[in-house]
Amino acid sequence: MAGIKFEIMTSGSCENQFRYLKGLIMILVKDNRCDFCGTCVAVCPVDAIELREADIAILDNCIDCDICVWVCPIEVLYSDKEEEVKHD
Amino acid sequence: MIDFDVIVVGGGPAGTMAAHAAASGGAKTLILEKDRDIGYPVRCGEAVSDQGLRQFVEPQPEWIAATITKIRMRSPNNTAIDFESKMAGYVLHRRIFDYALANRASQAGAEIQTRAYVDGLVIENDTVKGVKYQYMGENRTLSAKLVIAADGVESRVGRMAGLRTATKLYDMESAYQATVGNIDIDQEMIDFYIGENWAPGGYLWVFPKGNRMANIGLGVVGTKAKDYNSHDLIHNFIKTYYPKATMLTSVCGGVPVAQTLKHITANGIMLTGDAARMVNPVSGGGIISGMHAGKIAGEVSIEALKTGDYSTNGLEAYPRRWRKAGGKNHEALHRISDSIKDITDDQLNKIAAKLEKVPQKDRSLLKIFTTVATQKPKILLDVTRAFTGF
């Protein structure tokens, strides 16, 4: 679980961390692996992904629909739901 | 005091064509590019037709990695069907090509700023009046009479202006490409692998890049990307078919194979290229359509500057002229791509088996489509429309 906490620290805002701690929804980013191609940004229905050349952030209005996770060509995005399944 | 007449967001072919047209018409023009370099990273297979390119610029030898005279299509069971191509095409060095287009825009008078990440728009009275951006950690704002959004697949600038740019998963190809060295292929031939086993809901390509190099890539349709990872598929393909190849670069990216957005203008803003979803939905090619639409957007901006009307109404010539130039054809291609998505591997193998018996010189595009049509009658109508121009 330590890894997940670290990723929240680096890829989400304070409010998003709060939402995560309350057991609310969240998509996470594997650090240092994103190629910044923008495909997830293009399919996000609520414009909740912000991408700069060296930084990708999932914003607070994420609705956890997972389609960015599916479309990512290199599986850098993942859902905390999947992570919990793995840990169980 | 307004800082610029036209601010173009994005320094790809669509953006630099738009900036060139605007600056040539006398507009004070600025291009903002988020990356450190124009033309890099190259998220593109880099193939263009000679005819398409020549509409806008004279092809220069330094842009060209390979000249294409032959096309090969492979069915799911790897039956190869060769076509002689009457029209030559090229595999470009996008890195050099994009630089040349940017240089061309700058020589027409456009300014360029790289490392400039646009993160907001200035909107007053429901009209775009400028851009907010970050440059080396500093927040900046510039005002403009018109903004042209050529920000590629992400298309966030359009969203900031209130346009719906989000693309459906089934209209997005999740793609991965490796540029490899030490590969022995015909350097005059582009090679397509079509079928679920190669690339579910997309295709795999091997494009020569000169000097025993090639771009090897594939796209998986977004709805199947959950189960098929383009990165793994391409690595397995290279390992199996070109085990001696070495990987020089790899990039991933999304190819929007969607219909062009319903609205490509709003008050004070025009969307162009991938950002407006102008990629050819059958081939996935977006260089030529982006250049074409960018040029039109630049020209329309000059007309708008004369009238002073930057509203959606004042910009109505842009969608109208785009539709006439390429949009109508694009709509037909999107219908064809929808039908092609339903063709099964079994049907593709049957088509290939039939085409194999047709002598190579008789293998015209029309012949392919009539063969396809006997397997999939319902697409005949669209194909006929596409070829007869309605």
B150 and B132, same domain (yes or no): yes
Average pLDDT over residues B322-334: 88
Mutate to test the interface with A, among B155, B252, B257, B279 (most CBs of A within 10 A): B252
Q: Tell me, what's the pLDDT at A14?
A: 56
Mark yes or no for CB contact B167/A47 under 8 Å: no
d(CA B245, CA B184): 9
Which structure tokens are listed for B81? 């069907």
Mark yes or no for CB contact B231/A67 under 8 Å: no
pLDDT band of residue A50 (cuts 50, 70, 90) is: confident
A 10 A CB-CB count for A68 gives 25
Q: What is the three-class DSSP state of B68?
A: strand
Q: B32 lies in a domain?
A: yes
Output B363 or B70, whichever has higher pLDDT: B70
Nearest CA in chain B to A69: B226
Kindly state whether A63 is in contact with chain B, defined as any CB-CB distance less than 8 angstroms.
Answer: no
Q: Which residues of B367-384 are buried (b: 16+ CB within 10 A; e: fewer)?
A: ebbebbbeebeebeebbe
Output B147 or A50, whichever has higher pLDDT: B147
Domain ranges for chain A, please list them: 2-87
Please count the structural domains in chain B: 3
B115 and B31, same domain (yes or no): yes
Average pLDDT over residues B34-51: 92
B305 and B382, same domain (yes or no): no
Give the minimum alpha-carbon distance from A7 to chain B in angstroms, rounded to a whole number: 22
Output B69 or B88, whichever has higher pLDDT: B69
B238 and B249, same domain (yes or no): yes
Q: B250 lies in a domain?
A: yes
Secondary-structure class of domain A2-87 per CATH: alpha beta
B155 and B178, same domain (yes or no): no
Average pLDDT over residues B135-143: 92
Q: Which residues of B16-48 are buried (b: 16+ CB within 10 A; e: fewer)?
A: bbbbbbbbbbebbbbbbbbbeebbebbbbbbbb
Mark yes or no for CB contact A42/B153 under 8 Å: yes
Q: What is the CATH number of the domain that holds B72?
A: 3.30.9.10
> Which residues of chain B lie closer than 8 angstroms to A78, CB-CB?
none
> Which residues of chain B lie closer than 8 angstroms to A73, CB-CB?
174-176, 220, 225, 229-231, 252-254
Q: B346 lies in a domain?
A: yes
Which residues lie closer than 8 Å to B275 by C-beta, 6 or more apart? B10, B14, B149, B150, B151, B152, B153, B154, B155, B157, B158, B165
B156 and B184, same domain (yes or no): no
Mark yes or no for CB contact A43/B43 under 8 Å: no
- Look up the domain containing B365 and give its range: 338-388
d(CA B51, CA B49): 5
Average pLDDT over residues A44-66: 85
Give the minimum alpha-carbon distance from B336 to chain A in angstroms, rounded to a whole number: 22
Q: Tell me the β-bridge partners of B64.
A: B92
Q: B21 lies in a domain?
A: yes
B295 and B179 in contact (C-beta within 8 Å)? no
Mark yes or no for CB contact A74/B231 under 8 Å: yes
B160 and B178, same domain (yes or no): no
B243 and B104, same domain (yes or no): no
Q: What is the CATH number of the domain that holds B287?
A: 3.50.50.60
B187 and B225, same domain (yes or no): yes
Tell me which residue in B35, B168, B226 faces A70 most closely, judged by beta carbons: B226
Q: Tell me, what's the pLDDT at B84?
A: 73
Least confident of A74-78, A81-85, B35-39, B311-315: A81-85
Mark yes or no for CB contact B117/A52 under 8 Å: yes
Nearest CA in chain B to A48: B156
Q: Tell me, what's the pLDDT at A6?
A: 36
B229 and B80, same domain (yes or no): yes
pLDDT band of residue B13 (cuts 50, 70, 90) is: very high
Give the minimum alpha-carbon distance from A63 to chain B in angstroms, rounded to a whole number: 15
Instruction: Write the pLDDT tens digit of every residue in A5-41.
Output: 334 334 445 555 566 666 666 788 887 788 889 999 9
CA B60 to the chain's CA centroid: 20
Which structure tokens are listed for B119? 């993160």
B6 and B145 in contact (C-beta within 8 Å)? yes
Q: Tell me, what's the pLDDT at A86?
A: 45
Instruction: Write the pLDDT tens digit of every residue in B176-228.
Output: 999 999 999 999 999 999 889 999 999 999 999 999 999 999 999 999 999 99
Give the minimum alpha-carbon distance from A3 to chain B in angstroms, rounded to a whole number: 23
The C-alpha torsion from B146 through B150 and B154 to B159, rounded to 10°, is: 20
B284 and B271, same domain (yes or no): yes
Q: Is B345 exposed, middle or buried (0-12, 13-18, 19+ CB in 10 A)?
A: middle
